Each structure stands twice: as C-alpha cells, then as structure tokens.
Structure 1
Amino acid sequence: MDSTLDRTSDTVQPRAGRREWIGLAVLALACFVYAMDLTVLHLAVPMLSADLHPTSAQLLWIIDVYGFMVAGLLITMGTLGDRIGRRRILLAGAGAFAVVSVIAAFAPTAELLIVCRALLGIAGATLAPSTLSLIFNMFRDSRQRSIAVGVWVGAFSAGGAVGPLFGGVLLEQFWWGSVFLLAVPVMALLLVIGPKVLPEFRDPEAGKLDPVSALLSVATMIALVFGMKKIAQDGLGIAALLALAVGTIVGVLFVRRQLTRPDPMLDLRLFRLGAFRLALLINIVGIFVAFGYFLFVAQYFQLVLGLSPLATGVALAPSGIAFILGSQVSPLIIQVVRPAYVIGAGMAITAVGLLMMTQVGLTGGVALTVAASVIISLGLAPVYGITTELIVGAAPPEQAGAAAGVSETGAELGGALGISILGSIGIALYRGDLADTLPAGLPAEASRSVRDTLGAAVQTSAELPGQLGEAVLLAAREAFLHGMQVTAWVTAVAAAAISVVAVVRLRHLPTGVGAELH
C-alpha cells in the first residue's frame, strides 16, 4: 500500500464552472481531430498511391512518420508546456496543425507529404499532454475531474471510430487530400475560442528546458517505436535489432541524466510510487490489446469479407460508440466501486470479447465481429480513464504536463508493442500457412507477392486466371484468419492476466480516483 496516498475528496476543492466546461468541449474537439488523423489516412492509401506513385518505402514513411514523431515528442512537449505555458503550447500546436494539414492536402509529391506528416506529428505531440494537463488544472474537484477525463478519453475514441467513417464519405466524393482538411475548422475553432475559455498554467519555478534531455528522449522513443514496427513489417532483422539497441542505450543515457540533474526534464521519482507504476503498466497492456485487435479487424472487414471502406467505417462505428458510453459511465461507477475492481472487471470483459473474436469465420462474420468489438470497447473504456487519472494524479500540479506526456508515451509504446509482437505473430502464421496451402503452378513472382501481405494477395489473385486466382485468394484469407484468431487468444490471455493483477495490487485504493499520489 502506498503510504503517500491521500484522498483529495477529504479536502474541499473548488468546483469548475461554465467556463471550464466550455473549455473542456474545445479540448475534446482537438483530441477528436488528433485521434481521427491517426486512422483516417489508411483508407486513402489506394487513391494516394495511384496519384503520387510513392515507392513502398515512401508509403511506409507516409503512414508511420506521424506516429514516430508523436511518440518521440510527447514527454518533451508535456515538459515544455509545464515551463512556458500549457495553453500557449497547445494553441501553437493547433495553429501549426491547421497550416500543415492544408499543405498536406495539396502535396504534389510523396516527399513533401512525408515532410508534412512529420510536421503534423510534431504539432500533434503538443495536443495530448497539453489538453490532459489543462484538464487536471481546470477540474480540481475529484468527481468533476473523473467526468472530464472520461470526456477526454471518449473524444479520442470517437475520433478513432469516426475517422474511417468520415474518411470513407470524403473519399467517395473527393480526392485523397480531403481527409487532411477535416482538421482545419476544428483547429481554427480552438485558436479562436481557446484563449477565452482556457486558463494558462505553468510552473513558475521551472528551470530551462534541457535540450540534451529532450534530444535523448526523442531519439529513444523514435528508435524503439521504429524497431518494433520494423519487426512487424519485415520480421526480426538487423535493422530492427539495431534500432532497438540504439533506443535502449540512448534511453539509459536519458535516465542517468535525469537522475543526476538538479532540475530534470522528467522527475523519475514518480516511478517509486507503486500505484503509478502499476497504472502505467495496465494502461500499456490495455493499448497493446486494443492495437492488436484493430490491427486485424479492419483488414478482416475489407480484405476477407470484402466490405467497402465506407461499410467498414460503419461496422467499426458501434465499437467507438460503446467506448464513448463506457468512458462516460465509468466516472459514476468509481464513486461507489474501488478502481481495482472496475479495472479488473473491464479487462475481464475485454478478454470475453477477444475470445469471441477467435470464433469468426471466412463468411458471415460481420455481426459476431461487431458484437465482439462492442464488448471489447465497453471493457477497455473505464480502464483507460482510471489509469490515466492515476498516472497524471501522481504528479504535483506543476508537473502535470510531464506526467501526461509519460501517460501518452506509455500508450504509444503499448501500441507499438501490439503492432510488432501481434503483427509478427500474425505474419509468421500467415506465411507459414501459405507455404503449405498455395496451389501448385503459381508463378514465383506472384507467390512472393501473395506471401507478403493479405492486401497484396487480394491484388495478385485478381490478376490470375479463374480458378487459380480463387484458390490463391481462399488460401490467403484462411491463413490471415488463422493469424487473427491466434492473436485474439494471445490478447485474451494478456487481458485476463492484467485483470487479476489489477484486483490484487490496486485493491487498497479507495473509491473515487481523485486520490493524489504525490
């Protein structure tokens, strides 16, 4: 049990008023667009490829560089907000996001689009830690803060769910660049209304930002995330191992520097708190599970069941709605049920949904997959909100931005781990199955293409004659389905295990997550 744990509910805290709730709505809109930008581009890849003709390497960078930059800069941007002002860094990021989105929408070359995606990642890295730390400053009352964090979590989920839906509608009417313009009006609204409803907060005693620490932090995260995604794409190779080694070494240097500086960029004493460490671990595992699930389900809808991008967006929408509902209900539940039991039940429910995913087939799987995704979202929603509040609540108010950066960085690591580990399992099973099931007489070049990804297999099978193409497509879909089912089993076990850990290790925490851990 953490001896430093105090309940803020024992002390009367000022309640938020109309201005703070309007400010929350503005922050939620920004989070909505940030999350939407993470998912919406994937649907535009076929049109983008036909227009800009990127190489395979360029296409990977167009998709991935946004996440690399976000992951690398979250802690730095959170710390920078603590020092120069959280509202200031948020508005600067919003302005940059809007301008670069317009440039990206009309980018004439793949090279310029890669640059724009990198700049969007830098701007996007200001949004999550700034919005979350502002919420912790604006909502001091524990119950109001739980509701506000629930809204914040729900906004991210809504953006991720609505992104494919909006993207599908736009791509059926306009060019691929239109998906970038979705962010512009929301960011413009934030720039207009934000200064009027968002208060400014910063640490008046903060020292200068340490550029060396910032560079080490960025290099650590980019190298680690790149290495993990490289494993998912190409398997365990020299480039991936080298990137992971570099990330680990640079990360050790970052930690040593924080421990020896009188004014560290990140106060590592937070990690001494058991509840902080465990909440961060649960958050990472939850994101790991979610990314592993979403990694396969969108491909399953489009490439196995043959749904259009718009139909896929519609099929994914119920899980987003369930996540929003779950994140809004959980603040009420934790007022009467201890966080450990809410988290434990949530992860157990998630495990049930994942077990349902192991039963989907090559046909008629829409209803079962949608039902499973709804159950998974209902289970994960309270987990994210509660663990986020525990993580950021551990920090002193003047370090809320850095703590929010740690929380979001953990989420990025969880996502990268989900993609690399579960993606590698899926790819290994896919290629292993095809080694035995591809029909004889398949040309060598076509065989290599089919073994690469299911998407490549669908394209290649369409170019093959009659029954041969049908046989190739069936073999590829069955191999993909096998990989998806196995990864669903793996994530179900992980969710069940963390459910038990949460109940055993966090059961001392009182009802209401408004407990400060510092």
Structure 2
Amino acid sequence: MSTTQTPQLRAGRREWAGLAVLMIPVLLISIDNTVLGFAIPAISTGLHPTGTQLLWIVDIYALMLAGLLVAMGSIGDRVGRRKLLIIGAAGFGLASLLAAFSSSAEMLIIARALLGFFGATLMPSTLSLIRNIFLHEKDRRVAIATWAAMFSGGAALGPIVGGFLIEHFHWSSIFFINLPLIALFLPAAMLLLPESRDPNPGRIDPFSIALSMLMLTPLVFAIKHGMADGVDLLFWASLAVAIASGAGFVARQLAMPTPMLDVRLFTNRVFSSAVASNLLSVMGLAGFLYFGTQLLQLVLGLSPIEAALVLVPGLITSIAAGYLAVPIIARFEPRVVVPCALLLNATGMGIVAFTPEHSVAGMLLAFLILGIGLGTAEVITNDLILGAVPANKAGAASAISETAYEFGSVMGTAVLGGLSTFVYGSTLTSTIGDTAGGSEFETLGSALEHAAEVGGATGDRIAEAAVSAFDLGVQWAAGAAVVLVLIAAVLTTFGLKGAGRLLPGSQSKPTEEADGHDVKTQGSVLG
C-alpha cells in the first residue's frame, strides 16, 4: 500500500476572510440555541405559555437541528455546501421575522421549529468548508479551534445578548438581531466562499430522514410528558415509537452501501467516547443556562443586563480555554486532559447544586469554572472525533459531532429543565395546596405575576413559596447535571485510553479502506 502526500498551501487573506464569513452562521446557530434564556420571564408574562409549552419554545429549535443535521449535510454534499448555506441563511431570516411577530405560544413554537429547520442547513457545511479551504495543517488547526471557540462561545454569548436586548427592548428583539448578520453573510458568502461538493455522493434517503425524526421527537415528548403528567400509556407509547424508529434507523444505515449516517463509526472507542462526552457535557450546559438565567432574574432579582454581565467572565474563559487547549494537549494525553476538564464542569454545576442559598457571586464563579472546563473539553473532543476516523469519513464524523451537540442541548432542556419544572410544581403544590395546579402557577414568572396581582400577605406568601420551590428545582436539576458530567468524565477516562498525545506536526497513520483504495495521510486537527 502506498501513501500519497499532497502539497499543503498556506492560507492567504482570502481564506482567513472566508473563515470570518463562516463564523457568522456558527454564531447564528449557537446564539439562537441559548438567546431565549433571559427572555423566558418576558415570554411567560407576554404569551402566557404553559410549563410544557415553555419547554417546547426553548428546545424545539435544537430538536429540529438534531434531527435534520445529518440529512441536510447529505443534501449539501449533493447540491453544494455553499449553495445550501445561502438558501438556509435566507430562510433563517424569514423564520426570525415570524418569531419576532409571534402573538401566541403556538406561533412562537412553529417559528422556532422553522428556525431549527433552516439552521440545520447552515451548520453541517461550515466544518466541511473549513477542511476544504485550509489545506495546511497549522492553518487548519487554528481554524478548527476558532470554530469550536465560536460554537461554545456563541452558546454562552446568547444569554448575554438576550439580557441586553430584554433590558432595553421587547422580547421579540432577540430575533431581529439575526437579520443584520444574515444581510452581511449573504453577499460575503457569494464573494469569498468556494463551492464544495462530494464527488461521489450516495442517494438522498427520505425514509432515513423520517426515521431519524421519529427517533428524536417522540423521545423528547416522552420525557416532557413524563415530567409534567407522570408515566402513563402515552409516555410508554411515545418511548416505544422512539426505540423502534431508532432500531430501524440503525438497521437501515447498516444495510445501505452509502448510508446517510455511518453508524459503524461508533465501533471506534475513541470516537464514541468523545461523542458521548460532548453530548453529556452540553446537556449540563443547556440545563444550566435554562434554569440559571431564570434564577438570576426571578430569584436573585437582577435585571436582564445585570444577569447577563454575570455570565461574561464565563464566556471569556470558555473562548480562551479553547485556544489554550492546543498547547496543553501537546504535552498531556487526552484521557488525562478531557476528564479533568469535565471535572471542572461538574465543579461549576456542583456550586449551584449544593449551595444552600444561591448568590450572584456563586453563580458567577460557577459559570466561570464551567466555561473553562467546557472550552477545553470541546476543542479536544472535536479533534478526537475527526482524527479517530479515516480522512474520507471526516464529513460523517463532523455531522455526528454536531448532531450530538444539538441533541445534548435538546435533552439538557428536556431532562434538566423538565426535572426543575417537576420539582417546582410538586413542591409548590405541597406548600400552598391544590390551587398551585392552576395555569397561573405553571412557571415561576407567571406565579410571581399572579402573586403581585393578589397582593398583601397572601401574595407575599405565594411569591415566597414559588421562589423557594423554584430554587429547590434548580438544585435538583444542577445535581443531575453533575451526575451527567461525571459519567462523561468516567467514560473518557477509559474510552480515550487508546488516544495518543496530539503533538504539533504529528500525523496519524495511513488508513487503507476495505476496497483497497489508498487514502491520504490525515494529520491531527490540533497538531
């Protein structure tokens, strides 16, 4: 077997300008994942959603992303990744307008679903285009680190941007911010980004797309329904559909010569451990942002902009840690660095879970520590995901990584948000009686609004009981997040045992495909 090497050209101004353009859709996707955080109280009082509707408003976006990322990546391989980016950006802008002008909870849920649909057309192409634009290893690892930093940094930036806008404008303003970014992106993408396609794509498989959605949507519905109404026949039926669809999806991918998602990649222990680590750590982050932003405003009494400023140090450290991970991983093995980073995640969440009385300083410290751990782990695990597979499987690997991220975001809101909502509701009922079952007590925002309307000693008692119940729900959810991240730390400790140190300038071994064709030697993304 021979190994071919191709000349590696250093990136010029046009390539780095193209990277800047690609960061716009990355920021759009990641910011929109979390920008609703500080708008939740305003939406609760403005549209009066039920507790379950509020959860759907938050995570229907990430659910659509998770269900369609692989499918849209497959379509992009065929029609052209730049073309799909441009189409998706235009659709994302129109869906943003629909969300901004929503007059009911149902309308906002539909708008958020459309944002997720068009968002799925944006995300898969960014990493693939980066790998095509940056041919030199050193350039590419800086570009990948930037991509990862923007992805995690954008998720942390979302609540900050949302807090600033909610402080000064109507909650709908969080959707208008997408429009100038899209207006900047469209002409820049046509001018600076090259078109890229898969030269030998398989056929589009609508049945696989349907199975992937039937696997995810009923699963999230089952979790939400179980938290809100208990485990009943509808819960088990939804769970059964999800399991059956998941089994059918895996079987179909294994039987297809060119599957939409190559599930055989999961037989690689390093790959599957890194993916699981991403999913579980993002679950913890999504849950933290869901209940943390409400806690800062509704329990600790901060204004949206004050609450947003509490998250700024965590945002900065998350981005800085992503870049610092590059030299750190050159000296220490991933199975040491990644679990340590995840332990930092768990420590940050543990501050929220086990602190008797929450404080602004405690929340700032918690998010600061969490940001360091998340920024470090995310860059390294994404590199391991791409480096653990043959070069010609890198596109499928990146699609799986992004799907795990979005599914983790969905499950974080559904599981941890659902747990906090369940504990809040049951605790409030036990405190003030059956009256807590009314729609005015579905969320903390609506409960406090109702307490203000009642007024007097009774209103004060309702408000105190609601805040205390919500605070307890946050502690339970944060404790569950700690458990999830500790599981990820254990998985990576053993699962990454075969992953060697990523040295600058090192290259992985040549890989020979089953059909006997040679593939190019693929260097590590981080070095």
TM bracket, shorter-chain basis: 0.7 to 0.9
Partner of 1:388: 382
Aligned partner of 2:310: which letter?
A: A
Partner of 1:356: 351
Partner of 1:505: 495
1:419 aligns with 2:417: no
Partner of 1:22: 17
Structure 2: stretches of 5+ with no match in the other structure: 512-527
Aligned partner of 1:121: which letter?
A: G
Distance 1:410 1:467, change over 3 A: same
Contact 1:391 1:407 in 2 (8 A): yes
| Identity within the alignment, % | 40
The one-character-per-residue Cα deviations of 1:328-379 (angstroms, maximum 9, x if unpaired) are 211222122222221021012222222222343446x001110111001101
Q: How does 1:319-334 map to 2 (within 5 A)?
A: 319-334=314-329
Distance 1:399 1:19, change over 3 A: farther
Contact 2:152 2:318 in 1 (8 A): yes
The one-character-per-residue Cα deviations of 1:200-233 (angstroms, maximum 9, x if unpaired) are 3222111221222222223322232333344444
Partner of 1:404: 398
1:236 aligns with 2:226: no
| CA distance, structure 1, for counterparts of residue 452 and residue 30 of structure 2 | 34
1:71 to partner: Cα distance: 1.8
Task: Return 209-218 or 133-142, whichever deviates more.
Answer: 133-142
1:337 aligns with 2:371: no
TM-score by length of 2: 0.86
User: How many residues are paired up?
Assistant: 506
Q: How does 1:9-88 map to 2 (within 5 A)?
A: 13-45=8-40, 61-88=56-83
Partner of 1:467: 457
1:433 to partner: Cα distance: 3.6
1:139 aligns with 2:134: yes
Partner of 1:366: 360
1:485 aligns with 2:478: no
Distance 1:233 1:373, change over 3 A: farther
Partner of 1:4: none
Partner of 1:256: 251
Alignment counterpart, residue 224 of structure 1, candidates 210, 215, 219: 219
| CA distance, structure 1, for counterparts of residue 298 and residue 44 of structure 2 | 18
TM-score by length of 1: 0.87
Alignment counterpart, residue 295 of structure 1, candidates 290, 294, 306: 290
Contact 1:77 1:405 in 2 (8 A): no
1:131 to partner: Cα distance: 1.0
Query: SS where residue 209 of structure 1 aligns?
Result: coil
Distance 1:174 1:303, change over 3 A: closer
The one-character-per-residue Cα deviations of 1:244-268 (angstroms, maximum 9, x if unpaired) are 2212211211111111122221222
Aligned partner of 1:402: which letter?
A: A
| CA distance, structure 1, for counterparts of residue 171 and residue 429 of structure 2 | 36
| CA distance, structure 2, for counterparts of residue 191 and residue 478 of structure 1 | 48
Query: SS where residue 36 of structure 2 aligns?
Result: helix
For the aligned residues, what is the CA RMSD?
3.1
Query: SS where residue 215 of structure 2 aligns?
Result: helix
Contact 1:164 1:309 in 2 (8 A): no
Query: SS where residue 264 of structure 1 aligns?
Result: coil
1:114 to partner: Cα distance: 4.1
1:271 aligns with 2:261: no
Query: SS where residue 261 of structure 2 aligns?
Result: coil
Aligned partner of 1:482: which letter?
A: L
Contact 2:55 2:413 in 1 (8 A): no
Aligned partner of 1:385: which letter?
A: V
| CA distance, structure 1, for counterparts of residue 481 and residue 237 of structure 2 | 27
Distance 1:370 1:55, change over 3 A: closer
Distance 1:413 1:111, change over 3 A: closer
Distance 1:92 1:304, change over 3 A: same
Query: SS where residue 35 of structure 2 aligns?
Result: helix
Contact 2:215 2:245 in 1 (8 A): yes
The one-character-per-residue Cα deviations of 1:447-474 (angstroms, maximum 9, x if unpaired) are 6457644333322322334223223322
Distance 1:353 1:54, change over 3 A: closer
The one-character-per-residue Cα deviations of 1:419-467 (angstroms, maximum 9, x if unpaired) are 33333443444344445443xxx6x435645764433332232233422
Contact 2:8 2:136 in 1 (8 A): yes
Distance 1:48 1:447, change over 3 A: closer
1:77 to partner: Cα distance: 0.9
| CA distance, structure 2, for counterparts of residue 219 and residue 359 of structure 1 | 37
| CA distance, structure 2, for counterparts of residue 51 and residue 454 of structure 1 | 14
Contact 1:430 1:451 in 2 (8 A): no
Partner of 1:346: 341
Distance 1:400 1:108, change over 3 A: same
Q: How does 1:45-194 map to 2 (within 5 A)?
A: 45=40, 61-107=56-102, 112-194=107-189
